[in-house]
Chain A
Amino acid sequence: MANMTDQGRINWFLQAVFTTSAATTTFTPGTGGGSPIVITTPYHLRLMTAQGSNTAGSNGTEMGTGQGYTALGQTLGTTFCAAPSAGTMSNSNSVTWAATGTWASAITSIEIWDTAGTPLRWLQGALTSNITGVVNGDSVQFAAGAITINASAW
């Protein structure tokens, strides 16, 4: 049922989840509404050499630690995204890695995880083109606005 959700509700939800700057945000459903939803920020951006899917547990393959990258990724800042508009929002802060050696595998996709004790994956998606040819001395930078969350068709 794509494009059927009221975008006002989607914007509301997105802002609550991805614009919050609180270290911990908890949504407590009423009776029968399931378990509380707990989000521990900051969100982290992870680089993936193989994309997963949006199915629970189908994570991609993260780049290993080394050559300037550390497993579990890097913070997206206190506030991940500014408030959404029309179901779309993007990252507020840039994230940069300084390569200290050759990145042997192409980076095909990214995932965004929270920083709970057992981190939860929140977003995943492909890059418009792979990151390839990274060598010692290079930088890889996701500029502010480079990561787009588009829920207009959720």
Chain B
Amino acid sequence: MKIQCKQCLAMTDLPPGADPHASTWCDCCTIRDDSGEIHHHGRAAESCPGNNGIGHPGEPCDHPNPAVCAMVSRPMRPGEVSANPAAPVREHGEPCPGGHCGAGVSGCAVCRPVTHFPVTGERLAMTGG
């Protein structure tokens, strides 16, 4: 199967069972963590602290600017005015570590979503059901 970087469109063959996001074949993914390992798009995407830190596993980020999507809630402080005083105040917390990415997303630190190009085996059988 081939995979393609969605940013620079470079393609490569992916060996069976290999992790497409741990493969490096183009120059797009230049981020290294403290241990020197290439940044892993998939792991970062799942480390999102959004939704008050509980993340949104398996769900897409609905923030208009995913690079700053982390939101936290806190009680209202004295002197603050709100249309709904009982509701906690939501504001940006620490910047998103890059759990979401895409070409053109400002601040994106996980730069390489890929396109998977599967193909079928030699023979696709007719079925009886």
Contacts and interface: CB of A to CB of B under 8 A. Distances in A.
A142 B119 CA distance: 7
B3 to A, nearest CB: 9
A146 B113 contact: no
B101 interface: yes
A65 B114 CA distance: 21
Interface residues of B, number: 37
A143 interface: yes
Interface string B117-129: 1111111111111
A150 to B, nearest CB: 4
Residue from B19, B20, B123, B126 having most chain A Cβ neighbours under 10 A: B126
Contact of B118 (A102, A136, A140, A150): A140
Interface residues of A, number: 49
Contacts of A54: 125-128
Interface string B87-129: 0000000000000111000000000011111111111111111
Contacts of A83: none
B10 interface: no
Interface string A116-154: 000011111111111111111111111100111111011
Interface of B: 1, 6, 14, 16-17, 19-21, 41-42, 45-46, 57-61, 100-102, 113-129
Interface of A: 52, 54-59, 66-67, 100-102, 104, 107, 110-112, 120-143, 146-151, 153-154
